[in-house]
Amino acid sequence: MRNNLVSMGDALREYLNKSRLKPRLMEVRIQENWEQVVGKTIARYTESVHLYDGKLVIVTTVAPLKQELNYSKDRIAGLVNDMLGEKVVTEVIIR
């Protein structure tokens, strides 16, 4: 029966990929690494970042930052996906 041995890490990754926890875990990873992804200044003026069904929702009350983020949606999606190592973010929404 040793033919079907799987490492603990591989088993955990497979479980998370199939579970409903994966989107929430991805959201937490984005929130924890937000400053490294977008930089200290943008992170300071970002009120919240959430992930819903592949949509990254960024909330800020600073109008010039909203405008800058609107111009950088594709870049932000790419940076976040690179940080996660897979294509999770398909759309960026600025509020």
Which pLDDT tens digit goes with each residue over 18-29?
777 888 889 999
Q: Is residue 88 part of a domain?
A: yes
In a domain? residue 17: no
Distance CA 41, CA 20 (A): 33
Domain count, the chain: 1
Answer yes or no: is 34 within a domain: yes
Check whether 9 has a pLDDT greater than 80: yes
What is the H or E stretch that residue 94 is in? Answer: strand 91-94
Structural domain boundaries enclosing 82 = 22-94
Assigned domain for 45 exists: yes
Each residue of 37-63: pLDDT tens digit? 999 999 999 999 999 999 999 999 999
Query: What is the dihedral angle through the alpha carbons of 44, 51, 84, 14, rounded to the nearest 10 degrees?
Result: 150
- In angstroms, rounded to a whole number, what is the distance separating the alpha carbons of residues 81 and 83? 5
Q: Which two tokens stand for residue 72?
A: 């950088």
Q: Sorting pLDDT into bands at 50, 70 and 90, what band is 1?
A: very low
Residue 2's pLDDT is 59
Amino acid identity of residue 56, one-letter, is: L
Q: Report if residue 57 sits inside a domain.
A: yes
Flag whether 10 is in a domain: no
